């Protein structure tokens, strides 16, 4: 049922032996995309010296060019994020010893603010490409990568851990090796959820775009041509009209890549849904229909997959006698204990280093202050994720079960998830100053504004993969109302919800840097919390306190994930097995 590179045979009039009208209709579109992205790629490698000013114009006529540069960076980061996710999930699921390190490491990585990654990466990338703009472009792509990769990796890992037992049994009967299982079972099974999380990751890239494209290094501001820099300049100038133009350009870009990229992929991945009948949940895409009717694209894709099959030898590997989930159990227990001891020693060394750093460089009073700020941010995160779950889980299930609506709201949801919270600063500042609102309370919703969509996208993906047979069985048994939700819908989407909630929680911690410290022109609103602390220390250039704030944030995220989210994760795995 699940074979990733199985090209469907078509017997209609499209199977002609030469080009047809669909080929000539698609040719201009394909050529235009190639030319546009080639032009944007050429602009990324101009000569550049640190200290040189890159002018960003607020003239709307430049927005198409800025949009092109931004989308190229985001798709480049998305490609690296996909590669990272494939490697991460495959290794973490296959090797239990590696999983003990990789999952906590991913918790840490998703909690590190984008400013922290940028501070580390900008200098090496500039040194790697001296005198060239490509170094700064790579730093921007890396920053966007850090806002995309963790969510996709969690999604793929969760899907591979929750493959239905009947499919695992079928893989054992057919004696598939670990490599074959990945390409023919696990990745196809995870494909619908992975694509929805790719859309969410693209939106996450938009959310932190200002921080990624408007870079500060060695006291110099570097603003790369793009929508993020355009927004940063508009905020500095308090130009509301330019903000409106930026929102329009964002909406146009999201609609374009939704129709030309994500919608065809979702429709294509519908064949990987785990059910015997198609049901009424099929996605539709006008572009995919064109591509399937094109002789050139169809024959080219068939040759490409055939070549990949021969080159990688997917179907000629011998059975290795293990499954991807039980390979580690064949090793000697002594090695497992030695590995656990090594990890324990590494953790003790990390604790010792942290204690030494605190004692020598910042002091324990400052630590107590930062931990108190972390507790305030923790309270905000828990309350906001809980409220977002109550609102979006029922809506997401309803949308996921109705493809005619899910396709309509898909682009809207992507736009809302991509909407940078910086664009709300003018409205937030106006209302808070006019109504004299408390910043500690009314700035809080900004933390979850961009991250609540992780819950929506994951639950929609989970609901869309509920087998049609299960839904029909529930109807035949007369399940209605809360009983149907309790017995069918909520258990079915629970693994997807946990994945979305984990990434939403980590993203909310990251977003606190933007949400707890709001600026519009010369006006600044500050809420007490760990995010505003890190932001203020970053502006002051106090690297010791920046490191302290990031370390405390990582500790909070790891403890929350370890003692709350991971237990829900284990519960989701038990219910799916």
For position 35, which CATH number holds? 1.10.3720.10
Q: Give the separation between CA 364 and CA 360, rounded to whole angstroms.
A: 10
Between CA 248 and CA 256 the distance in angstroms is 12
Concatenating the DSSP letter of every residue in 369-404 gives HHHHHHHHHHHHHHHHHHHHHHHHHHHHHHHHT-HH
pLDDT at 312 over 60: no
- pLDDT at position 209 over 50: yes
Q: Mean pLDDT across the chain, nearest whole number?
A: 79
**Radius of gyration for the alpha carbons in the chain, expressed in angstroms and rounded:** 25
Average pLDDT over residues 124-153: 87
Is residue 238 assigned to a domain?
A: yes
Number of Cβ within a 10 Å radius of residue 57: 14
CB 98 within 8 A of CB 91: yes
Helix (H) or strand (E) holding 215: strand 214-217
Phi–psi pair at 264, nearest 5 degrees: -60, -40
Q: What does the alpha-carbon distance between residue 557 and residue 509 come to, in Å, rounded to a whole number? A: 8
Which tokens sit at 221?
């501001």
DSSP states of 421-447: GGGGHHHHHHHHHHHT--HHHHTTHHH
Q: What gap in Å lies between CA 102 and CA 46, rounded to an integer?
A: 38
Going by the DSSP 8-state scheme, the letter that residue 8 receives in this structure is P
Helix H or strand E segment including 517: strand 517-520
Q: What is the pLDDT of residue 508?
A: 85
Residue 168 lies in a domain: yes
Q: What pLDDT score does 275 carry?
A: 55
What does the block give as tokens for 420? Answer: 């940078």
Examine residue 18 and state whether it is found in any structural domain, yes or no: no
Domain with 118, as residue range(s), is: 24-281+334-576
Residue whose C-alpha is closest to residue 258's, from 188, 199, 320:
199
Query: Do the domain assignments include residue 303?
Result: no
Tokens 């204990």 locate to 337
Residue 294 lies in a domain: no
What does each C-alpha distance from 552 to 108, 306, 372, 424, 534 come to in angstroms? 11, 51, 10, 28, 10
Nearest to 270 by CA among 89, 422, 468: 468
CA distance 76 to 193: 21
Q: Is residue 297 part of a domain?
A: no
- Phi, psi of 420, deg, nearest 5: -65, 135
Q: Which of 65-74, 219-228, 376-385, 390-399 shows the lowest mean pLDDT across its residues?
A: 219-228
Question: How many of the other CB atoms lie within 10 Å of CB of 317?
Answer: 13
Among 515, 560, 410, CA closest to 113: 515
Among residues 559, 571, 572, the alpha carbon closest in space to that of 458 is found at 572
- What are the backbone angles phi and psi of residue 65, rounded to the nearest 5°? -65, -45
Please state the domain count of the chain: 1
SS3 106: helix
Q: How far apart are CA 157 and CA 151, in angstroms?
A: 10
Question: Which tokens belong to 6?
Answer: 């199985």
**Three-class DSSP category at 56:** coil
pLDDT band at 311; cut points 50, 70, 90? low
Using the predicted structure, report yes or no on whether residue 14 has a pLDDT greater than 60.
no
Q: Is 295 a domain residue?
A: no
> Where residue 373 falls among pLDDT bands split at 50, 70, 90?
very high
pLDDT in tens, 122-133: 778 888 888 888
What is the rounded CA–CA span in Å between residue 90 and residue 500? Answer: 20
Per-residue pLDDT at 6 exceeds 60:
no
Mean pLDDT of 392-400: 89
Please indicate, yes or no, if residue 268 is contained in any of the structural domains: yes
């Amino acid at each position: 049922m699940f074979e990733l590179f199985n090209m469907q045979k078509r017997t209609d009039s499209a199977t002609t032996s030469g080009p047809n009208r669909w080929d000539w209709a698609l040719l201009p579109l394909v050529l235009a995309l190639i030319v546009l992205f080639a032009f944007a790629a050429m602009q990324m490698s101009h000569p550049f010296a640190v200290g040189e000013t890159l002018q960003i114009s607020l003239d709307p006529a430049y927005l198409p060019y800025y949009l092109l540069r931004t989308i190229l960076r985001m798709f480049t980061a998305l490609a690296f994020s996909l590669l990272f996710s494939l490697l991460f999930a495959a290794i973490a699921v296959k090797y239990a010893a590696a999983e003990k390190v990789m999952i906590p490491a991913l918790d840490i990585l998703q909690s590190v603010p984008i400013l922290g990654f940028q501070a580390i990466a900008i200098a090496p990338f500039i040194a790697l490409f001296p005198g060239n703009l490509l170094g700064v472009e790579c730093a921007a792509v890396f920053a966007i990568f850090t806002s995309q990769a963790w969510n996709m990796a969690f999604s793929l890992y969760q899907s591979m851990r929750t493959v239905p037992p009947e499919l695992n049994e079928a893989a054992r009967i057919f004696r598939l090796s670990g490599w074959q299982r990945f390409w023919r079972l696990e990745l196809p099974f995870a494909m619908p959820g992975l694509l929805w999380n790719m859309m969410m990751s693209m939106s996450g890239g938009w959310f932190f775009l200002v921080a990624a494209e408007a870079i500060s290094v060695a006291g110099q501001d570097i603003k790369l041509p793009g929508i993020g820099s355009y927004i940063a300049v508009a905020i500095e100038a308090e130009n509301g009209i330019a903000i409106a133009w930026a929102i329009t350009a964002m909406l146009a870009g999201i609609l374009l890549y939704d129709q030309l990229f994500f919608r065809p992929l979702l429709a294509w991945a519908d064949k990987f849904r785990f059910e015997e009948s198609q049901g009424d949940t099929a996605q539709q895409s006008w572009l995919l229909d064109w591509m399937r009717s094109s002789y050139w694209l169809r024959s080219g894709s068939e040759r490409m997959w055939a070549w990949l099959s021969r080159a990688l030898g997917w179907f000629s590997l011998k059975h290795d006698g293990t499954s991807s989930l039980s390979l580690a159990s064949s090793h000697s227990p002594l090695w497992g204990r030695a590995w656990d001891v090594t990890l324990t020693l590494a953790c003790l060394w990390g604790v010792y280093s942290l204690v030494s750093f605190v004692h020598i460089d910042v002091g324990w009073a400052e630590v107590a202050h930062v931990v108190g700020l972390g507790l305030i941010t923790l309270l905000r995160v828990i309350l906001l994720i809980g409220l977002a779950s109550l609102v979006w889980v029922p809506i997401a299930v309803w949308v996921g079960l109705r493809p005619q609506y899910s396709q309509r709201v898909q682009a809207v949801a992507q736009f809302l998830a991509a909407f940078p919270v910086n664009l709300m600063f003018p409205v937030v500042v106006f209302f808070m100053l006019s109504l004299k609102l408390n910043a500690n309370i009314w700035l809080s919703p900004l933390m979850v504004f961009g991250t609540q969509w992780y819950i929506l996208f994951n639950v929609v993906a989970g609901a869309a993969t509920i087998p049609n047979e299960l839904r029909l069985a529930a109807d035949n048994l007369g399940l209605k109302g809360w009983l149907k939700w309790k017995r069918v819908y909520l258990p079915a989407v629970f693994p997807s919800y946990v994945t979305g909630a984990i990434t939403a929680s980590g993203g909310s911690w990251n977003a606190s840097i933007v949400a707890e410290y709001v600026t519009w022109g010369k006006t600044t609103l500050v809420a007490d919390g760990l995010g505003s602390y890190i932001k203020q220390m970053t502006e002051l250039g106090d690297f010791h306190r920046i490191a302290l704030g990031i370390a405390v944030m990582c500790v909070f995220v790891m403890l929350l994930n370890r003692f709350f989210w991971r237990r829900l994760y284990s519960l989701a795995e038990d219910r799916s097995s």
